Amino acid sequence: MILKNHPKRWLVVWGMVFPDIAILGLGSFLLLKGNLHVFKPLLQQLYSVPLVPFIDTAFHSLIIWIILFLVFFINHFVNAKWFFFGVFSHIGIDILTHKHFIPRYLWPISDTSISGLIDYRTLLFMAIDILLLLSFTFWSIKKLINIKNDLH
């Protein structure tokens, strides 16, 4: 990996996760509350909740992220570029892999959706995605434990 030993790689990783954070958080909350049924397609249920398609589109809008990037760049938040690298990587991967539940990536300028080349719901893609998410979770926990140990 290009950023393997880069000190700001954690910003890239958080940026790659961030566009899905609202949907993952809301989905987890509704699942724990019992408002979603585990044995039914979760995304279909989640997208039937009011505001979910809007939130997902806003968090995946290239227009919004470009504006935020420019605001951070103009204000000299130099390290934010690593976070935005992650966000733009996430959106790029989504553009290639979303054939269903497609955000409008150019919102609010355009409501056009871009259908991906690969369906992210295939077993192989989902297995890789879940393994990467679990790796990220364990990596984050390990990092937090190391930070806690360094403080003592």
* pLDDT classification of 143: cutoffs 50, 70, 90: confident
Total domain count for the chain? Answer: 2
Residue 16: exposure state from Cβ atoms within 10 A (0-12, 13-18, ≥19): buried
Structural domain harbouring 137: 122-152
Distance of CA 53 to CAs 40, 46, 70, 102, Å? 18, 9, 25, 9
Give the Cα separation of 117 and 50 in Å (integer). Answer: 28
Q: Is residue 81 located within the same domain as residue 33?
A: yes
Asked if the structure places residue 28 within a domain, the reply is: yes
Whole-number average pLDDT of the chain: 84
pLDDT of residue 152: 64
Asked if the structure places residue 3 within a domain, the reply is: no
pLDDT of residue 1: 46
- Nearest-5° Cα angle at 94, 134 to 108: 125
User: What is 98-120 written as a DSSP string?
Assistant: -SSS---TTTTT-------SS-T
pLDDT of residue 19: 93
pLDDT of residue 64: 96
Q: Which residue has the tokens 């609010």?
A: 108
